[in-house]
């Protein structure tokens, strides 16, 4: 390995390290949030900013959720298998219910407003 390649690798490693450290902490690193999990259902309102019915994923720009100590933000969620996603589309205003899942919160009910 020549010196130029070694230097590029070192610089790349130094710039990537902080990014990976933040990624590993997940939402714990998000300013203004703690990641307390609810023990029961939590309801909120929001607007669909992206939807993938095949992968059962939805991205919502949601109102603050005090039960989780979350500010207004846009974030993605998995959608439970029993939830009917037909008729939902980007820019729909919705009400939704979240429950703790294996990773974060999962949408267990959703309907247009």
- Residue 62: phi and psi, rounded to 5, are -105, 160
Co-location of 96 and 70 in the same domain: yes
Tell me how far apart the alpha carbons of residues 67 and 65 are, in angstroms, rounded to a whole number. Answer: 6
Q: What is the mean pLDDT of residues 17-46?
A: 56
Co-location of 98 and 68 in the same domain: yes
Lowest mean pLDDT among 5-14, 17-26, 47-56, 88-97: 17-26
Tell me how far apart the alpha carbons of residues 73 and 56 are, in angstroms, rounded to a whole number. Answer: 20
Q: What is the pTM of this model?
A: 0.68
The range of the structural domain enclosing residue 19 comes to: 1-30
Tell me, what's the pLDDT at 21?
40
Examine residue 35 and state whether it is found in any structural domain, yes or no. Answer: no
Tell me, what's the pLDDT at 16?
46
């Amino acid at each position: 390995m020549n010196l130029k390649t070694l230097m590029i690798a070192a610089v790349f490693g130094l710039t990537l390290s902080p990014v990976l450290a933040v990624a590993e902490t997940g939402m714990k690193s998000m300013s203004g949030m703690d990641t307390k999990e609810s023990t029961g259902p939590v309801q909120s309102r929001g607007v669909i900013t992206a939807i993938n019915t095949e992968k059962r994923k939805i991205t919502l720009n949601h109102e603050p959720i005090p039960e989780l100590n979350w500010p207004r933000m846009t974030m993605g969620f998995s959608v439970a298998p029993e939830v009917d996603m037909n008729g939902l589309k980007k820019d729909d205003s919705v009400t939704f219910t979240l429950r703790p899942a294996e990773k974060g919160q999962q949408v267990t009910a959703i309907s247009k407003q």
